[in-house]
Structure 1
Amino acid sequence: MTAGAHPHRAATAGVAAALGATLIWGAQLPIAKGAYTAVDGITLTLVRYGVALPAFAALLAWREGPAALAADRRGWLAAAAAGCALAGSLLCLFIGLSMTRPEVAAIILALQPAMTALAEWGRARRRPPAFTLACIVIAFVGVALVVTRGGAAFYEPAAIRGTETFGNLLVLCAAMLWVAYALLTPGMAGWSALRMSTLTSVPVLALIVLAWFVAHAFGGVRIEVAALLAATWRFAYLSLLGVVVGMLLWNAGLQRIGAVDAMLLANMMPIVAFVYRAFEGVRYQPVELAGAALVVGALVANSLSLRRGRKVPA
C-alpha cells in the first residue's frame, strides 16, 4: 500500500459524504414546499430540529459514550458560534422558501461555492484566480435569468413580485450564513462528525425555539391540524434524512475535504431540485433551463479548474 493511499481514501470518502448530503438537500426543498399547507416556515424548522436533536444525542451517547455530550468552554463557544450561523441559515431558508419557488431557492443556494471563495478572499486576503472570478460572474448571470425568468417576472403583479423577491433575499441570506457555518467548523477540530452535529444542534434548537415564541407572540405561527397527517412523511424526510443523515454526511465531508471543496459539490443541488420538480409536473421556460445550465456549468468548470491547479506532479 502506498503512503498516499489513506489520504486518498479519506478524500474519496469526504467527497462521497458531501455529495450524499447535497443530493438529500436537493430533494428537500421541493418536499419542504409541500409542507407549507400544514405549517409555517418557523414551525417547520422547529419540527426538524425538535426531532433531530434527540436523535443526534442518542446516537452520540451510544457511539461515543455520555461524556461526548459535554465539552469544555472553548468547545461550547465554537459550537455556539457555528450553531448561531446555522440557525440563522435555516430560519432564513425555510421562511424564504415559503415565499418563492424551490428550484429558484436551489439555484441561489448553489452560489455557496462562489460565496465561499469571496469569503476566503476577504478573510485570508487570498484573491481567487481570474478564472474563478469569471465563473462567479457567469453564475450570478445564470441566477438572474432563473429568478426573473428572463425578465418575465418583472411583468407580474407587484404583490407577487415583491413577495417572491423578499423570499429570494432571505434564501440568499441563508446561503451566506451557511458559508459562515462551514468556515466556523474548523473551530471544532478533533470532534467526530456526529459530535459536531449534536453539539451545534443545541444552540440551533434554542434559537429556533426563541424565534418560534417571538413569531407566535406576533401571530406569525400557523398550524393547520387537518393537513398535518398528509404532511407527516414530509416532516419525517426533512427531520431524519434532511437533518440527521444530511448533517452527519455534510460534517463528515467538511472534516475530510474542507469547506471550499465541500461547497463545490453543492453544484448538484439545483439539478436534483429541478428534476424533482419536473416529476411533480412543473414545466420550465427555456430561459430558466439556460440560466440553470449557466450556474451549474460555471461552478463545475471552476471546480475542475481548481482541482487541476492543485495537482502535484509525482
Structure 2
Amino acid sequence: MVRVPVWLRGGAMLAGTAVAWGGMFAVTKPLMGMVDPFTLTLVRYGVTAPVFLALLVLVEGVGALRLEGRGWRLWWLGTLGFAGFGVLAFLGLRVAQPEHAAVIPATMPLIAVAVAAWRARRRPSGRVLLAVALGLAGVVLVVTRGAPLELVRGGAGRGEALVFLGASLWVFYTLGAAAFPGWSGLRYTALSCALGVLSIAALDVLAFAGGWARWPGGVALAGAWPELGYLIGVASVLGVLGWNAGMRAMGAARGVLFINLVPVTAFAIAVVGGRVPVGTELAGVALVIAALVLNSFAGVRGAGAVPREAVVPVATGCGVREAVPLRVAGR
C-alpha cells in the first residue's frame, strides 16, 4: 500500500477546505433574496452550535461543557465573532459581489497583526507593515476595479466595508482565545458559538420588530436546503475539522497560505458563471496573495508584530483555527 506523506494529506485537506470556503460566497448569494441576513445567521449557527457541542462532548467529555466562571466573557466574544461577523458578512454580501466579499476574509491574518500591534503598543516590523499595506491596496483595487476615488464618492465598497467590519470583529474574537489557556480550539469555538447564538436570536427578534427581518416560509427553506446544507455542513462543520487537521499536519505558519485559495476559488466560480474579471481585480487579488505570503514568512522568521504567540484567524466565521506564532520585531 502506498503511504501518503503527512504533509501531502494536510495540504489536500487545507486546499479542499479553502476551496469550500471560496465557494461559500457564491452559494450563499442566492439565499439573500429568500432569507434576510439576521435569520440566515440564526439558522446557520443555530444548527452549527449543537453540532459543535456534540463533537466537544464526544472528543473531550461532558466536563468540557463547564464555563469555569467565564460565561460572560465567552458570551461577549461569541457575540463579537458569530453575531457580529455573521450578520455583517451577510449584510455586506447582499450588496457586494461574491468574489469581492471573498477577498476580505483572506486578509484576516493581516488585520490580526495590525490589531495585535495596536493592543501591544508596539510598531510592527517594516516587513509586516509592507504586508498590511499591500493587502489593503489589493482589497481597494478589487472593490473599486482600479478606481479608488469611488470609495470617497460612495459609488463602491459599501457591502465590502460591512464585510471588512465583520472580519475585524472576528479578529477580536479569535485573539480573545488567548484568555483561555489550556482550552482546545474546539472547546472555545463550541461554547462561544452556543452563547453567541443567544445574541443572534436577540438581534433577529429586534430585526423582526423593526421590519428588517421576516421568517421565510417552509417552502422557501425546503427549496434552499442545498445551499443551507453547504453553508452549515460543508463550509462550517467540515471546514473546521478539515482546517484543524490540515494545520496540524502542515504547520500553521505555512498552512495559512492556503487561505489564498478562497478568493481564487471565488473568482474562478465567477468566470465559470460568465463574468470576466477586469485586470485591476486580478491585480488586487495578486497583491492580497503576495501580502499573505510576505506576512507568513515574516512570522516564520520571527519578524511579526505581536507581543506573544496569538491565534491568527484564517477563517470565515466558522470557529477558531490553529495559532500562527508571531513575535514583536526585536524580541
Q: TM-score, normalised by structure 1?
A: 0.81
User: Match of 1:85?
Assistant: 80
Residue 105 of structure 1 contacts residue 171 of structure 1 at CA under 8 Å; is this kept in 2? yes
Provide the residue aligned with 1:237 in structure 2: 230
Q: Does 1:178 align with 2:167?
A: no
Q: Which moves more between the two structures, 287-296 or 77-86? A: 77-86
The answer to whether residue 194 in structure 2 is matched with residue 202 in structure 1 is yes
Q: Give the 3 Å change call, closer, same or farther, for CA 305–71 of structure 1 in structure 2.
A: closer
TM alignment of 1:64-213, pairs within 5 A: 64-74=60-70, 76-86=71-81, 87-151=83-147, 154=150, 165-213=157-205
In structure 2, list runs of 5 or more residues that go unmatched.
1-5, 304-324, 326-331
Q: CA deviation at 1:174?
A: 0.8
**Matches of 1:176 and 1:253, distance apart in 2:** 24
CA contact (8 A) 1:78 1:184 kept: no
Pairing 1:43-58 to 2, within 5 Å after superposition = 43-58=39-54
> RMSD between aligned alpha carbons?
3.3
**Structure 2 SS opposite 1:281:** coil
CA distance in 1, matches of 2:80, 2:12: 25
Indicate the SS of the match to 2:95: coil
Share of identical aligned residues, percent? 37
Residues 204-283 of structure 1 correspond to what in structure 2 (within 5 A)? 204-225=196-217, 226-249=219-242, 265-283=258-276
Task: Give 1:287's aligned residue.
Answer: 280
**What per-residue deviation string (whole Å, max 9, x for no partner) do you get for residues 81-104 of structure 1?**
321221211111111111111111
| Rounded Cα–Cα distance in structure 1 between residues aligned with 2:57 and 2:74 | 18
Structure with more helix by fraction:
1
How far the C-alpha of 1:78 sits from its partner, in A, is 4.2
- Aligned letter for 2:294? A
Residue 277 of structure 1, CA deviation:
2.4
State the shift of 1:79 in Å: 2.2
CA contact (8 A) 1:18 1:249 kept: yes
Gaps of 5+ in 1: 1-8
CA contact (8 A) 1:82 1:184 kept: yes
1:111 is paired with a residue whose SS is helix
**1:73-125 CA deviation, whole Å, 9 max, x = no partner?**
03x24422321221211111111111111111121222222211111211123
Query: Is this contact kept in 1: 2:110–2:295, CA < 8 A?
Result: no
Q: Distance in 1 between matches of 2:17 and 2:33?
A: 26
The answer on whether the counterparts of 2:140 and 2:148 sit within 8 Å (CA) in structure 1 is: no
Q: Which moved more, 1:26-35 or 1:263-272?
A: 263-272
- Between 1:64-73 and 1:94-103, the stretch displaced more is 64-73
Asked if 2 retains the 8 angstrom alpha-carbon contact of 1:26 and 1:106, the reply is yes
AA at the equivalent of 1:101: Q
Contact in 1 for aligned 2:91/2:162 (Cα 8 Å) = yes
CA contact (8 A) 1:27 1:276 kept: yes
Q: CA deviation at 1:180?
A: 0.7
Select between 186-195 and 139-148 the one with higher mean Cα deviation: 186-195
Measured in 1, the distance between the counterparts of 2:31 and 2:149 equals 25
Rate the CA distance shift 1:99–1:64 in 2: closer, same or farther, 3 A: same
How many residues align? The count is 296
Tell me the SS of whatever aligns to 1:73.
coil
Q: 1:148 to 1:27 in 2, by over 3 A?
A: same
